[in-house]
Structure 1
């Protein structure tokens, strides 16, 4: 009987600790994905502004050169635009909005910034596009700082909470 109680206690503690660490990992993922997304945006800027590639070609280059953990989104946008000839770039960005939240752990504010950029992409001349890229870069850097702060603050908290809740449940049961 003692063995079963000990095993149950260990399972409870390990489960709650795992949940705490898993939730903490979401903060790490968001920061990492924001950094990788910004790198992909820099590739896109180079392809559009300096190489003067058409948008579908530029999106393909971002997919090929960027970190696949994030760059697949640009391939999704490209495929959407190629398969839906009457749609605009913003529709392509709207198409991937749920993936930004679920797959990349982006917050609503991150997604709004990206969708705002999607509205302006491809509708003006190269000089204006360059300005839009700079604005996006500043906004993404601010989001990265926020994500770093949240990671430091909340990441440790959820790890600790997971462990403490596990011990609390064990103490409450015995």
Structure 2
């Protein structure tokens, strides 16, 4: 009886691990898409609204889901506090601290770090060009993420179940 309960628990745990990994593959394109919408909003705020950067970032944070919203809200709050840090420093610190809670990878992070290094330090047109460049880079990363999702999502689920089944067979 105890072996049966243990086998069920192992099978359940392995399956959940596979499904959790598959969920990360599914979440990455969604988060990149949210980031693209946020950049479009930022582009609008800078280009047409001529909104100050902390306000634009705060509005951006309200329009996107967590964990991305927390990063941008933190950047906006830090810029409003007048700590004396540059936009690039605050941007890099917030992205580095919050990136682990996302499903995104180094390519997306690199594009966002390059964008943060240029924001607030030049004219409106130059900033808009950098926002558009970051959006193009993220679109490329999104296409890659969708391909990986199609390729690996089902595989992860299957491997979780089959790996757990193998462990159960070896236990019995």
**TM-score for both structures, normalised by structure 2:** 0.92
Match of 1:67 among 56, 60, 64: 64
The Cα shift of 1:137 comes to 1.1
The Cα shift of 1:83 comes to 2.7
**Corresponding residue of 1:29:** 27
Q: Any stretches of 5+ residues in structure 2 without a counterpart? A: none
The Cα shift of 1:68 comes to 3.2
Report runs of 4+ in structure 1 exceeding 4 Å deviation: none
**Corresponding residue of 1:112:** 110
The Cα shift of 1:97 comes to 2.1
Residue by residue over 1:94-135, the C-alpha shift from the partner in whole angstroms, topping out at 9 and shown as x without a partner, is: 112234421112212211110000011111111112211211
**Corresponding residue of 1:153:** 151
Matched, 1:12 2:10: yes
**Corresponding residue of 1:47:** 45
Aligned equivalents of 1:101 and 1:127: distance in 2? 28
The Cα shift of 1:86 comes to 1.5
The Cα shift of 1:5 comes to 2.2
The Cα shift of 1:32 comes to 1.1
Aligned equivalents of 2:34 and 2:139: distance in 1? 12
Contact 1:40–1:67 (CA<8 Å) still a contact in 2? yes
**Corresponding residue of 1:144:** 142
Q: Any stretches of 5+ residues in structure 1 without a counterpart? A: none
